[in-house]
Each structure stands twice: as structure tokens, then as C-alpha cells.
Structure 1
Amino acid sequence: MDKYGCNIRRAVWCLFVMTLIATNHAAVVDIKTKGAKGDGITDDGPAILSAWKDACAGAPPSSMLIPPGTYLSLAIVLAGPCKGPVEIIAKGATIKAPPELAKFTKDTWININSVDKLTITGGTFDGQGQQTWQSAKCQDTQMSCQIPVNLRLYKIKNSVFRDMTSINSKNFHIVVLASDNNRFENLVIDAPGNSVNTDGMHIAKLNGLNISNANIRTGDDCISFGDGSKNVYIDRATCGPGHGFGIGSLGKYPNEEPVQGIFFRNCTMTGTTNGVRIKSWPDSMPGAASDIHFEDIIMNNVLNPILIDQEYCPNNACKKGAPSKVKLANVSFKRIRGTSATKVAVKLACSAGLPCENVELADINLTFNGGPATSECSNSKPKVTGPTVPAICRA
């Protein structure tokens, strides 16, 4: 018989009791106990950091509590590894960045890195980026400004982010980098359509990510993918305003990792400047993107609803004429319907040096001004199944 009075016949009951005791003694660190004021004026970053360190080092499962209220915070780094699973509970809380860009010396406002089994529940993260978007200096030459993203997740694994909101980021809202097997649920991202470089989510160099029920309004790509993105599943996402869902641009830098296994399903685009897009630079570095699939997408007055652009060259910042060396293969667009804001609703501009391979379009119904739209193709011979409006070109 042990100290809980257990014997063999009571083993199951005692296991339950000990589990309950362990749960009740889990560390819950309230940032208010660390001096957070929650007045929206005082820098509560040190209190958040102190609470995080205790929660991270606490007996698992532990948590950091950010009670309802408004908290101002300068840039902070919440670093692991932690002793075990840890949760940040921020239901009803708003955390605000200072609006002045001069108060940032690095490219991230809230940096969370090197944590396994993290959960974040709730919270509104307000980057207060309005002044930054209006800065001609930062818009004209990014190298002269350290423009912070709202939330950077680096080397985060096996984690869940639910019921979170990111608004008015100075730069990208959420960057997920080198972080495997994570999940986002019920995500809201919001910034005006004229905000600058405010990608909703940027994803790169990871394997395994699920995003479900995301509502994104922003001034750049709603979701963008860099190299090394693998096995990403996005379901029930809305986009608009914004630049759409974008793979790339790819091929700008040497030794880029392949993009493989990107799936969009049950999404809606409204008033965006692009719909679903894959883009790579001409005269690019070698690269590859394959197994990219867009299914059951609704387009509402969208410019360029379906676009492969292997001649992507914004601001003439590249050598035009030389073909892209990024190989695109096994790409599908299925059950995409709605309205195009331009006559050309489907454009497949593939590389002359590496033509697109195994591109499929099925059950497309896109109209323009109440009538049929058109399509354009180069260096692509797509497979077409089911009814398609517009008729799909072959070149």
C-alpha cells in the first residue's frame, strides 16, 4: 500500500486521483502577479516575459494567464525549450505594440521559438501599424527599416493556436518558420486593404501545418508560401481584401528547398487582386513545386482568379526574357466558380525552359460581366475534365 492508500484492487481509482492532484497543482502564472498593469500605457512586456519564464520552467502542464484587459508591450522573445507542454491563455485580452517604429530594433514584435507542445488560446495582437504604412521611407526601401512582424513562430512543434486575432501588423501578421506539425483553428487576421506588406500568414521551411476556419482581410497575400513548405492543409479560409493565396515567389535565391503538398479546400475570395496563384521569377535559381491543389473555391469579383505566373517580376527587378528554372508539376484547380473582375480568368504562364507538367483543371465556372471569361496559356498543356467556363486553352 502506497502513501495514497492504494492497493491492487484500487489501482484504477488511485490513478485517477493522482492525475487529478497533478492537474490541480499545475503551474498557472498570472502576468498580473508579475506586475502587469493592463492599462494600455505601461510597458507590460517585462511582466509577460517573467510569467512566461516561470510557466515554461514549471511542472507540466503549465500555463501563462493573460487576463482580460489591454496590455502594451515592447518587443519580447518567449523562448524554450520548456519543461513540458505549456499554454498561453489570453481570452479577452488585447496586447498592443507601440505605434512608433523607432521603438523596434529587430524585425519581430512577439517572437516565440523552440517550444514543443505549445497551446495559445484567445488573444488579440494589435500591431498598431498605421504610422508605418504611411512611411514613404519604409515603403520605398525596406532595407532602411526594421519593420516587425506581429508574431513569429520559429521551431515550434506539435502545437495548437486557437481563437486568436492579429490586427494592423506593421509588416506580416504571422510568420511560421521551421515549425512542424502545428494547427491553427478559428483565426482572424485584419488590416485595411491599403496597408503595406501585411501578409496574413507567411509559411516556409516546415513539414505539417493545418489551418481551419481562418478569416483574413489584409493589404497583401492572405496566405503566402516560401520555399520548403510541405504538407500544408488549409480548409474554410476567407480572403478579402488582399492579394489572394500565393505560392512563392520562388527561385529568387540559391538553394531553395522544394515546395510540396499544399492543399486549399472550401475557401472564398472576395474582391482580391489575385485568387489562387503560383509565381516564380524569370531567370531564376533552380527550384521545384509540386502537388499543389486548389479545390472548392468561390471567387467573388476577383482579379486573376486562377494564375500560374512564372514571369513574376515586380518593379522590373529582374532579368526578363530568360525562363524560370522552377519546375512546376502536379497542380490542380477543381470546382472553382464565381466571378472574375478581368476578362482573362485563367492564366497559365509557365516556363519556356521547364514547361508545367501535369496541370489539371476540372469543373471550372468563372464569368466576367455576366458572360464567359477567357483563358490564356503558355508552355502548358493542361488536362481538362468536366465542364469548364471559360474554355481552357492549350499551348
Structure 2
Amino acid sequence: MASITFAFKALCVSLLFIVVASRPTGRPKVFNVQRHGSKPDGKTDNANAFTSVWSRACRRESGRSKIYVPKGTFYLGGVEFVGPCKNPIEFVIDGTLLAPANPSDIKQDTWINFRYINNLSISGSGTLDGQGKQSWPLNDCHKNPNCPKLAMTMGFAFVNNSNIKDITSLNSKMGHFNFFSVHHFNITGVTITAPGDSPNTDGIKMGSCSNIHISNTNIGTGDDCIAILSGTTNLDISNVKCGPGHGISVGSLGKNKDEKDVKDLTVRDIVFNGTSDGIRIKTWESSASKILVSNFMYENIQMIDVGKPINIDQKYCPHPPCEHEKKGESHVQIQDLKLKNIYGTSKNKVAVNLQCSKSFPCKNVELIDINIKNNGLEDGSSTAVCENVDGSVRGKMVPQHCLN
């Protein structure tokens, strides 16, 4: 009997060993771009070498793949990384990816583009250097119909269940990060930097996206720190420092006929420092679409010398003359908007501007504990302006509210 028991135990141990040995190891297959032909000399175009490495990592069928960019400066022309891939991919960037200084040397809308990929992770201590300084004077499309098309730094389209963390994006030619039809994506620990006078260098821009989480991120740009466009839902933004820049903006909305609703936005624990705007919703006054903007929560937000701390602008028209008199008011409906514990200083006397549409007034706007003082050149206390807005007020209110 003892020998049978011993034999059974030995068989179990053997089977366990076979099962453990047959499992795929937890470590990914590493593809070091430098060992696959890339040169960190800051001048050799490594685009083909990078896409070759991507192709090998993407089509590998067993286990995870890891593409590694070591320290050094890797010059890249325009490059696209396209899926679907057969396994999850880590893209670790510890070096600098350097864009062409001449904008015409990038032959696509986005310098580094990821498309049709699931389970992508981008991380590292590295930098995406867009070398935008030469491009910024060319960004004059509102007055020059022949303006050149400038590339955004990094784009994600049809990418799901993915994340980016700890990367630095420096001096983009246009926007830094662009998201289109991206779902379940986390952005954390990212640093985004461009001068305050660099035009259209939005930090993070997204449209037709859902379930995006942005946290612990520092953004300083010449345009919106975060721009939220048509069709974006279930967005959570927390612990973000914004400045310089134009704040966290919803819109502009309503310009095009096929736009979709924007809803379920939470913005909390934010610092706006020296920005032109803080909380901003902008819709075109002569809008082409009827859409709904709803269920927004802004909470625990500090304003430090912000131009327009709270700004709903439903007469948005950046380059007059505008067509409001011909086409009428905005048809974008804003409703169920809560602003709680918003405090700090305004550079202008009007600290709260709620300029809603006459045709579609703002509904159910809640103001709770607002304390924004005038720190600008105009004397006197801060003020609020309300047009076509219905809502309620609780707690401390500086400036004095103007809601119905």
C-alpha cells in the first residue's frame, strides 16, 4: 500500500512538473531596435527599421512582445504601426525619438501613428521630440488657405484596451497626442510641453472615444491642455496640472452636420496655472448639428490667475465675421452640469461666464462652493455673467451668482 501511495505521489509531482514546464514564460520576447538596425545618431532615418521590428513583434504568435528603444537619439521620419497583432505588445521608449525639423519631411497627418491594435502598452523615460519651432510660424490656416498640413506627434486610431505612461512629448508641430475611436485607454504620468505661444499644440485631443482615463499628468502648451470633441463619452480626468494653455475644453462643437453627443465627463483635482481658460465648453453660434452635452462633473479645481476660469461660450467664433445673424443660435443642448469646490483667482473681473444658447438654454447647472476672486488689473470684486441658463446654487458663492 505504501508503495502505491509513493508511486501516486511521484506521478502527481511529474504531472505538475510537465504542466509548469509547458506554460509560456511570463517574460516577453524583447526586440531591441538598436540590435535590429536602428542607429541612435540623431540623423539616420530609422523609420524602416522600426516598422520592420514592429512587423516581427506584431505577428509573433506565442507570448508577449516587447519593443525596446534604448537611450540615444533615434531620428524618425513619419512611421505607422498597424495591427491587428497576434499578441499584446509593450513599446518601451527610454531614448529620444526625434522628428524631422522640416515639416514637409513628414508625409502623413501624424508623425507616429498606431492603428487597429488591442492590448498595447507604451511606457518609458524617453522623449518624443517633435522639433516644432520651425513649423509654428506656418500655422496660419485661418488667414492662409494654402497653409501646409502640419503633423501631430503621436496618434491612436481604433486602439482598444491599451495605455501610455511616463512618456514626455516635447514641442509638437501641431497637437501632441490625438485619439480617434479609441476605447478603454489609460494615460498616466505623461508630461506634455510646448511654449505658451506655439499655435494649435493641443496636449491631448480626442473624438469618438469612450472610457478614457487621464491621471497624474502635466500639460503646458499653446492651445487646449485637453480637447474633448464630438462623440466622446465616459471620460475621467484627475490630478492634472495645466498651464500654459487654453484649459480643458469641450469642443468646439456644432460646426459639422454629423457630430455626436458628448456625455459623462468627470474632471477632478485639477490645477490651472496661468491659462487663458480653465473649465471651458465652446459651441459654434451658427451650428450645423443638434447634439447633447450632458452629465458633466467638475470638482476640486484650483485656478491660479486664469483668464476665464469658468467659461461656457455658445457663441464661439474665433475668426470674425461670423454668421450668427444669418443662421441663428447654437443648437447644442448643454444640461446636467455640476461645478463643485472651484476656487482661486481670475485675471479678469468676469470669473464665471455662462453664455448659453437662446434657442437651447442650458439646463440644470449646479454651482456648489465657488470661490474665485479677481486678481486682475480691473478694480473690484469678481463678477458672473449669465445668459439663457437655468440651475441652482449651494454653499459659498464668489462671485455672486446670476442664475435664475
TM-score range, shorter chain: over 0.9
Matched residue, 1:266: 269
Question: Aligned letter for 2:97?
Answer: I
Change (3 A) 1:261 1:137: closer
**Contact 1:6/1:14 (8 A) holds in 2:** no
Question: Aligned letter for 1:105?
Answer: K
Matched residue, 1:352: 358
Question: Aligned letter for 1:306?
Answer: I
Matched residue, 1:300: 304
Question: Aligned letter for 2:291?
Answer: G
Change (3 A) 1:54 1:317: farther
Matched residue, 2:4: none
Structure 1: distance between partners of 2:258 and 2:238: 30
CA shift for structure 1 position 394:
2.1
CA shift for structure 1 position 214:
0.8
**Contact 1:104/1:146 (8 A) holds in 2:** no
Structure 1 residues 145-184: aligned runs within 5 Å: 145-184=148-187
Structure 1: distance between partners of 2:91 and 2:222: 28
TM (norm. structure 1) is 0.94
Q: Which has the greater radius of gyration?
A: 2
Match of 1:206 among 209, 231, 234: 209
Matched residue, 2:398: 389
Secondary structure, counterpart of 1:144 in structure 2: coil
Identity rate, percent: 37
**Contact 1:153/1:175 (8 A) holds in 2:** yes
CA RMSD of aligned residues (A): 1.8
Matched residue, 2:115: 113
Matched residue, 2:313: 309
Matched residue, 2:339: 333
Structure 1: distance between partners of 2:57 and 2:146: 37
CA shift for structure 1 position 387:
1.0
Change (3 A) 1:10 1:246: farther
CA shift for structure 1 position 317:
5.4
Report Cα offsets for 1:150-202 as digits up to 9, x if no partner: 00100110001111111100001000110100101101000000101000010
TM (norm. structure 2) is 0.92
Matched residue, 1:95: 97
Structure 1: distance between partners of 2:103 and 2:316: 30
Question: Aligned letter for 2:48?
Answer: P
Number of paired residues? 388
Structure 2: distance between partners of 1:326 and 1:166: 33
Report Cα offsets for 1:337-370 as digits up to 9, x if no partner: 0000000000100000000011111010000139
Change (3 A) 1:351 1:15: farther
**Contact 1:139/1:196 (8 A) holds in 2:** no
Change (3 A) 1:263 1:136: closer
Does 337-346 or 137-146 show the bigger shift?
A: 137-146
Secondary structure, counterpart of 1:377 in structure 2: strand
CA shift for structure 1 position 18:
3.7
CA shift for structure 1 position 12:
5.7
CA shift for structure 1 position 48:
1.0
**Contact 1:227/1:248 (8 A) holds in 2:** yes
Does 94-103 or 361-370 show the bigger shift?
A: 361-370
**Contact 1:60/1:83 (8 A) holds in 2:** no
Matched residue, 1:29: 31
Does 36-45 or 8-17 show the bigger shift?
A: 8-17
Secondary structure, counterpart of 1:314 in structure 2: coil
